[in-house]
Structure 1
Amino acid sequence: MTKLAVFDCDGTLVDGQADVLWAMNHAFELAGLPLPKPAQVRRLVGLSLPVAIRQLAPKADHQRQLEITENYKTAFRKRREEGLLHEPLYDGIAELLRDLHAGGWNLAVATGKSDRGLTACLAGHGLTDLFISLQTADRHPSKPHPAMLEAALFEAGAQASDAVMIGDTSFDMQMAKAANVRAIGVAWGYHTPDDLTATGADFVAQAMDDLRGELDRFS
């Protein structure tokens, strides 16, 4: 059996909330539009950027939405190049990933980040070599479409019944259900445990030890 654990990134592996909010505010400000409320932005983390922008600026025309999207990408990239980006790992995540890898799990990521953003994030934390498959919004429809998860299953040579999707948002849980994969939510991210349960979570980890224990029981 090929066991596969697929992780979301923002809100599950790393906490990049401050930079996401900063870049979104900067993007809207450059476009001359009112700034979105932080709670609105946090609720949409995990979606592909263009999809999130459309929901944050529904009255803007298509060209203005594209402008906001490009503003965000440019601001985020510049912040990374200047060494100002702060995406710390949640406590215990690095150890968990290394233990799973050593224990025979295949690991993957399915994220709304770009290829560039995910590559830089994992490399910065020295985790790149742990993952067999990296799926991003650059090559797939936005969550909760199951394309990213299905691609990870294919690349790992794993069956849906032998895989788990671990994420912090309703979009992750819905994606898992659409791909017939066990859905594990984490309570330290952007959506509440109730949100996760309501959208299909089979289990919600309140702390890292809970997640570790649930994965230890998976067979």
Structure 2
Amino acid sequence: MRLVVFDVDGTLVDSQNLLVAAQAATFAAHGLAPPPRERSLSVVGLSLREAFLELVGPEGPHESLAEGYKTAFQRLLSDPVLASPLFPGAVDVLASLGRREEVMLGIATGKSRRGVSRLFDAHGWHRLFHTVQTADDAPSKPHPAMLLQAMAEVGAEPGETVMVGDTTFDVAMARAAGCRAVGVAWGYHPAEALRAAGAEEVLTRFEDLPRLLPQAG
């Protein structure tokens, strides 16, 4: 049996414009200048509290910003220009892996459980994933708790588990949990950073993932 765990934003979902817009609206509501786009995207993958703590420091209003972001994000979701499409190949690869009896699929994300449920509603994924770990369930990445909980939930061992993500936080989490890490080059952190963090491979096409799985355990 093999457990393949996916990050969401930057890995499955192309949410850059939505996340940057929600951050900008949140900072504006607090009378603060928003960070540059590159800086905004650099914290994607962390929980909201950890992301805003990173952006404004412990003396800044990071708790209030994290709460305000939730409101801004919900409001902007109705804007079709900022809708969060899936990356090319994601639908077909997930469907293909879901048909393999020896593969279980999981999610480990800095999103809230409500956000994941909304995504699952939109794409009909409620029965596709065997385990779902969110920012509501565990410490922020790169802490290994999400992967440890996912493995415990489905009875998988670290040697049977692969984390697929677009940030160094995903890679570091996988290594801390004793799992293998596969990076994707279309997300928030550059391929060279993913390799330096310990990703065994960095995909440039979603369609290349299934061929790696026999070598990942």
- Write out the 4+ residue segments of structure 1 that deviate beyond 2 Å after TM superposition: 82-85, 215-219
Aligned partner of 2:138 in structure 1 is 140
1:99 paired residue among 96, 101, 104: 96
Q: Is the 8 A contact 1:87 1:121 kept in 2?
A: no
Q: 3-state DSSP class of the match of 1:52?
A: helix
Q: Is the contact made by 2:180 and 2:216 (CA closer than 8 Å) also made in structure 1?
A: no
1:216 to partner: Cα distance:
4.7
1:85-141 CA distance string (max 9 Å, x none): 511111111111111110121000000000111110122122221001110011211
Deviation (angstroms), 1:83: 5.8
CA distance in 2, matches of 1:166, 1:158: 16
8 Å Cα contact 2:47-2:111 kept in structure 1: yes
Q: What residue is the counterpart of 1:75 in the other structure?
A: 72
Measure how far apart 1:55 and its partner are: 1.2
Using structure 2 for the length normalisation, give the TM-score.
Answer: 0.94
1:156-207 CA deviation, whole Å, 9 max, x = no partner? 1111111100000000000000000011001111111110011110111111
Residue 144 of structure 1 contacts residue 172 of structure 1 at CA under 8 Å; is this kept in 2? yes
In the alignment of these two chains, the number of paired residues is 215
* Cα distance, 1:57 vs structure 2: 1.0
SS in structure 2 of the partner of residue 5 of structure 1: strand
Q: Which ranges in structure 1 are unaligned for 5 or more consecutive residues? A: none
What residue identity is the alignment partner of 1:121?
L
Q: What is the one-letter code of the residue matched to 1:126?
A: G
Quick one: distance in 2 between partners of 1:178 and 1:65?
Answer: 27
Q: Identity across aligned pairs (percent)? A: 43
Q: Who is 2:39 aligned against?
A: 40
CA distance 1:50–1:197, change in 2 (3 Å)? same
Moved more, 170-179 or 91-100: 91-100
CA contact (8 A) 2:5 2:162 kept: yes
Given residue 84 of structure 2, which amino acid in structure 1 is its aligned partner?
A: E
Q: Which runs of 5+ in 2 are unaligned?
A: none
* Alignment-derived partner of residue 192 in structure 1: 190
> Which residue among 160, 163, 173 is the counterpart of 2:161?
163
Q: CA RMSD in A?
A: 1.4
SS of the residue 2:63 aligns to: helix
Q: Would you say the 8 A contact 2:112–2:135 is kept in 1?
A: yes
Q: Does residue 89 in structure 1 map to residue 86 in structure 2?
A: yes
Query: Secondary structure of the residue that 1:130 maps to in structure 2?
Result: coil
